[in-house]
Amino acid sequence: MSYRAPVRDMLFAMKELAGIDAIAQLPGFEEAGIDTAAAVLEECARFNEGVLAPLNWEGDRNPSFFKDGQVTTTPGFKDAFKQFTAGGWQGLQHPADFGGQGLPKLIGAACIEMVNSANLSFALCPLLTDGAIEALLTAGTDEQKAIFIPKMIEGAWTGTMNLTEPQAGSDLSLVRTRAEPQPDGSYKLFGTKIYITYGEHDMADNIVHLVLARVVGAPEGVKGISLFICPKFMQNPDGTQGTRNDVHCVSIEHKLGIKASPTAVLQYGDHGGAVASLIGQENRGLEYMFIMMNAARFAVGVQGIALAERAYQKAVQYARDRVQSRPVDGSLPAAGAIIHHPDVRRMLMTMRAHTEACRALALVAAAAYDAAHAHPDAEARKQNQAFYEFMVPLVKGLSTEMSLEVASLGVQVHGGMGFVEETGAAQYLRDAKILTIYEGTTAIQANDLVGRKTARDGGAVARAIAGQVEATEGVLRGRPSAACQTMAKRLAAGRRAFLDVVDFIAGQGRANPNAIYAGSVPYLMLAGTVLAGWQMARSLVAAEDALAAGQDIEFMAAKIATARFYGDHILNKATGLRDSIVEGADAVTALSLESF
């Protein structure tokens, strides 16, 4: 089935919820208003619908493969990557000084969703390159920036993130890759890195590895980790490609999904040491790597939205085409398309509402990121930064978990045909599973939300956001429609549940850490559900106003119906989550370890 980018819904969220008009008032973004966004998104849609989407199923059937130390990507990927970078998509939100277009993250996030909807396996290469660029922009020297960033933006080189080792998964204090200082100021790396996305491929001339390693004599634990640039090929002084560096792919993984994306095992230093240069200062590597990780975590959340959108579109098409059974209300004289059946419509509405709500949440977060970096007022920057940081684990955790649910519902809509690979629905479910795992599992996002984002400040940021939610409740109550009145009730109940958990975390953090971390993932899901519901409530108000003005009647009516469904079928789950966290913590640890 062909993919159609949801440009209209993206533009609605950008204008009515994320406030793109306000973003266009910020220094450096003056040309990035709604008209620019519409033009960019339409062009991005054409590229992804026409070039990347047709390669998605091919990548699943004919994935990248490893032979004689080389990785060959899926047929068509190499040419598609050339078109992608020639079109300027890699540099969309990076500085013009290095060859980028300097557009806000708000526009970039919508475009990133399209790339991932069209072809998730392909999209991972530019995603990691974006993270490498962000890390160098923040911590690299002027020379490092000048050498590496333009090449990555133009697509001649790509970037990777090298954290994980066989003995060091999420616990990076166990990193053992060794960095030996050299007389000329460079370093040589020795060690093994695993799960390196696009660690080896044939789509670009060079690969820039950003590697966590421990300098000889450094302190143990995370305080002794440094970050290095280690290119696959060295560069000559005149800028031409030099000798092959001592970093080699020794295998790639055989995975459940995202099969076209090569996940490499990289070996450093088998032939004398891989030459690398230090980024920033020694022993501050984890600090710098978190720049990449935060960028990647947000982007993976957008991947969840993207995959859910693709699964939803496929399910709708199948439900329109598949004839099976007469409708229960007798509206047709004989068997009709399954989209007439109430339970199929319930599944489709669940898929649609989840996707639209998470998209709105991500775009609102992206706008906060832009304001946090470009707003002229220091206090506004600080508030927006706090809001964005609170949103990142929600965007990542909620959006990826919901993508699994949506993709599973997509298979269910297809019935038995969904379990057959040739229909394509199963690919989305297989691809979705990794999203809840890489760049930090859902539990890691939840622990971050509990520890760094809630307990550390006693819940101050969480309560401030709840205050904004409450203001929206007031707007809803002031409107006559039954949809707004019901949404006000649902949102208020969700907000109270959210605040009860915030109080529980703030009060129990030191005295009973097991209790609050037992409910960390439910807390993430509760917070995400409520704050995504807040965006759906705001969209309900905006759509009612537009409908009253006679604007885009069919689209606005659909927005109202989707928001109403979210309130009645998804947002109302918040109170149950609250009860399991606040009242059910003891049940999590009640069973003895021996009884498992």
**Residues annotated catalytic, as ranges:** 439
Which of these, 361, 371, 387, 304, lies nearest to 105 by C-alpha position? 371
What DSSP string describes 323-383?
Answer: B-S--TT--SSS--BGGGSHHHHHHHHHHHHHHHHHHHHHHHHHHHHHHHHH-SSHHHHHH
Which of these, 364, 118, 380, 142, lies nearest to 260 by C-alpha position? 118
Bridge partners of 152?
none
CB–CB of 252/200 below 8 Å?
A: yes
CB–CB of 315/255 below 8 Å?
A: no
Taking the C-alpha atoms of residue 324 and residue 66, their distance in angstroms, rounded to an integer, is 44
Taking the C-alpha atoms of residue 582 and residue 503, their distance in angstroms, rounded to an integer, is 10
CB–CB of 382/35 below 8 Å?
A: no
Which of these, 461, 364, 346, lies nearest to 405 by C-alpha position? 346
In residues, how long is the chain? 596
Instruction: Please give the biggest Cα pair distance in the chain.
Output: 85
Phi and psi angles of residue 581, each rounded to the nearest 5 degrees, phi first? -80, -55
Instruction: Fill in the DSSP letter of residue 62.
Output: S
Which of these, 491, 528, 575, lies nearest to 360 by C-alpha position? 528
Query: Residue 322 contacts by C-beta under 8 Å, 6 or more apart in sequence?
Result: 337, 338, 414, 415, 417
Q: Kind of pairing, strands 274-279 and 226-231?
A: antiparallel
